Structure formats: C-alpha cells, structure tokens
Amino acid sequence: MFGIETLGGNVQAAALVGIVLVEAMVLYVGYGALTAAVGPSVRKAIGGE
C-alpha cells in the first residue's frame, strides 16, 4: 500500500509509522473542522430545538 513495499526494512517501518502519524493529524484537523461546522446544527436537531 502507498508503494512503500519497495523500501528497505527500517525505512519501510518508519514510513508506516509516519503514515499513521500523518493520518492521525489529518483526522484531528479534519474532524475538528467538521465538528465546528456541523456540531451546533446536530446538537440542535438532537435536542429537538
């Protein structure tokens, strides 16, 4: 996956960890923005307001 199979053992391992780190940071920022954008509307809808 992501073409990292061609890398050497240690580099491939570091690349895998790096990909997980980047995914986590992207998810943190992305979901943060999503929460800010739709959170209040969802809260109102659930609260029956």
Partner 1 sequence: MSAGMLALFVAFGVLIGILFGFFGMGGSFLVTPALLVMGYPSRVAVGSGLAFVFGTSVIATLKHRDLGQVDYKLGISMIIGTTVGLEVGKEIVLYLEELGLAGNIISVTYVLLLGGIGLFVTYEALKGGDGGGVSHDVDGDADVDADDIPELAKKIQSYSLPPMITLRGGVKVSLWMILLVAFATGLLSGFLGVGGGFIRMPALFYLIGVPVPIAVGTDLFEIMFSGGIGSFLYAQSGGVDLSIVAPLLAGSALGARVGSAATSIVNEDEIKIYFGLMLLLGALAVAVRQAGNYLGMGVLDYVSLALILGSALMVSGAVLYSAVKSMRAPSATGSSTAD
Q: Pick from 3, 19, 33, 38: which binds partner 1 (CB under 8 A)?
A: 19
* Residue 1 near partner 1 by CB under 8 A: yes
Q: Is 37 in the site for partner 1 (CB under 8 A)?
A: no
Q: How far is the CB of 3 from partner 1 (least distance, A)?
A: 12
Structure tokens at 38: 């739709």
Burial, 16: exposed, middle or buried (Cβ in 10 Å; 0-12, 13-18, 19+)? Answer: middle
**Nearest approach, Cβ of residue 10 and partner 1 (Å):** 6
CB 12 within 8 A of CB 4: yes
